[in-house]
Structure 1
């Protein structure tokens, strides 16, 4: 089955599996096909170009095309890195004497396949088509080992042993190549017939040592996939699920629905969770995200205010070209998506999949490029300061196989990656695997582990996404012949869970009026000042969410023109379980008389020397002073009531002067700065509690002139 290029990639996996699952599990131990029956579901039937049947213990194939080929096949897993043998008995019955028939192996599609064929005239050919380009390994050559003519069987075999691959005809080696020259493009093994010819095949054997599935620990927990119900799953194709970080909104793609912008095309739909953990009726997300082309949602930011979608849009919201676009929530809904610019982006494949990290700074791509190992490989691209993305970087052979590696989902911990693969031993034509990033090269990963039978079926799985909490996974999975594929969720096995994270949520508010504000959110490493992630607040409600992995201390704040950002910090160096922490973010209008606390200043107890973790806060103040060159401020130090009042006064003055000194050292004229210590004389909270005393220990500045 073929799909046009703009079809969302997951659709290929859902609709293209049915003819290719027969041997997926049994082939882990090899196979012996004698065609005594059709239990393995080889394609049989008559059509304009073919006539296939199983009869008298043989598979009969008649290619009716006067020019061209026909190749029935099955998905049968073979690891090309290990020793194997593929053999078959081929009898050419009648028809055209040119070209011939033979073995199809290590193939994926029309543009990526291998074949080993013999002709009735006594010649053989070994060739491959890679990305649509034909190349001979051996051009048509006569050989005495071939039994020429019709009605006489020939035995074809391919043997890989160690560092070499031998091609045999009737037991005679006709060609040997180094193992590194063997190229597999996929798991399709079968037969190929050319030019108005009838052939029959028997004894199709694949032998190798049994393959072992690399499973997660304790994969059998009694978990069962839960069908998401009729409010989500319909009688149409519902695919490509994407769960929001908080688990409250599910986005997915629905094909050919009457309420789509255009029938026979894909639209983005969504559903919201109700209080009883059930789902409201799914709704079409509408224009401008949906148009008359194939639409799909790739990623949703943790705050739910940004979507990454497939395709590039024109200004009026209509389809322009293949690619990726980004859309932000506005007061009136969603804006027309804008193109995401990735350096030297190209894709040799008609299908693709993408995923955006929680911090919105890494893009994982499943595409085919010149350095791809297989059909689709996994790549990573990084956000640059100018808003564009770096050239995709192959994520390496720890992940990528000769098969299709797709459906990436990077968990909120920024380390745990889930993806589907057809190039590793599994239960179906594509299984879900989990791996952990080992360093910052993004090319070293732990050995991928299969999530086991409770997740993976004999059909095929894809579209695996999880919540930030890591409690449930959502995916596309095969249910049964009656219902086909649908959207499900399943409890995530402990061995497959990502590292715990903290979800920080709240609202961005005007400090003076308390009204919600639309703003950008930034969070950084408190120690180094390095920007770690970005987000946005909801333009109507001011709500925001960010995901912070453990192991760091963070500085986070909202930014908006005309306002000063009141900073926050959170120390998450000590790992713990998943937490949700509420923190409202405040923006103070830049106006005369405004008094703003510098929350992220740090001193040792009783000391006035600034810690380096304070520099991020002070550098923001410097940027504001440079943005408003006429602004003058008073820097005020305050203490709690503990200790000697005179010493507290001295300490508060020293801390205010330390801030002034830092600002001056960075080029701010001292005539714009005034430092003053107030000791314990101006408390803003009671000194009778630890929390009150902490609020009273502060350094703040007041805008004297603007």
Structure 2
């Protein structure tokens, strides 16, 4: 539809239009092709690189210079310049030669010579006469299956048969406009031809098939008087899309020359191109995903080179456009391109500008130095920039963080956390002028601590506890300290502050934890302690030792309240369980172990546990578990433990 409208506008507007659009003015192809002799019947190859034409009575026409015609060719280079014409190899036979048509694949050329219509095979490089009674006013379709030719005002058709012969010509149309010559048929059904006027000069006309019927044709119309002159114009051949026409026209010298003219604009747009610039720094914005927007919507035909920060976009004729480059985290500056006055393909340079977001997004992980582990959230990590805590920084539970920093300067960025020594990182943003995502892991060195590790075992069997039991290492009174548990080996590791005494235990489903005392109160440098943690299965007859109670000459159970509170909480959660509390001493110690057991039972009962659920026993030194001859054995014998009686 666009093509038809442009053709119509061209034919109607005539000289005034052509004067404004130079490509629509016929152009003589110049001395490389035109000579003082007649040049007629131009034919452009499908790829537009070769021009065939007939030269009349030239002294180099091989057979004879007088009353001869030969086919010549010229090649067009990458700059669009035609080479000096030369005789076409293989196409000339006899005294009279004329090129008429070429197939779309360039493998067959329809000729007219002394033998009549002939077909040149480009692969075999041979000319074969066609047994068709036709005139030299002929044209072949692009697929090589039909040939039309004219006699007077009549148009005939012959078709290639399966056996490579041609059907008998049949009349398909009679034009009332007058005698027609030099017909040229395009693949879209358009037929260009010359008509003899009353002045006996030739003017170019066009018609078009209606539908698929060869018998129905549109009323012919003459081409613009920019093309048709008072002299004669004939044999108009076009490029495959019909945009450019090559034809013969008699000049003021009385000789025929080859001309070229644009028939319609096959690139009906302004091609706008340029750089995409940062509005502040005026540097190209590179390596960004860019959408070219036209009047608020994504352009249909645009390209962006991310490496160079350049673009190009096609803007159809006839409108004004608001053009912007849309980039995430940039505010576009709108530019107006006025294409209302253009009717011919034009290029235009226009740099688009983007107002940058004034910050970068800094993100990464907060890590323990030399360990690929995040700083635990219980350590309350905070992001500090240039010595100031940044409230807008986000730190996730997995240790990932992000914050926004204005570009154009440099910063000292660090993560601070409880029990960690911060390690500042320098971030230089002086050369950054737009939004970027910068990844930077921040590290902090853990304070000197005690590293406790070991196995997690079933106290009854001595075997490792299964990871399916939801294992968790707890530190009495401190929720911020967590242990790493290897699900394959069942081993754990935890870091505990120095200069303190800690109670740790392992919790597991179906087990009661055994508290272990880790005393690093006198340590000042990092220490490594191996300590297996055990848990006792909740089964009748199983014994659990309360390790925080030391039964000596004087017993102070107040220091053991946290462990006793845990036992009370456990009994409250399991109302059917009954236990026996037993107190033991080493040999030689005179302490009422019964009173110790009763005091402990009474304290647990004060927490809401029925007293009858707790039996109290004082065993004195009657049940030692180790030798009383060593300090270590005596310590093991001084103990309080309970037994599961009923579940």
What is the TM-score with the length of structure 1 in the denominator? 0.36
> Which entry has the higher C-alpha Rg, 1 or 2?
2
What is the TM-score with the length of structure 2 in the denominator? 0.39
Higher relative contact order (CA 8 A, sep 6+): 1
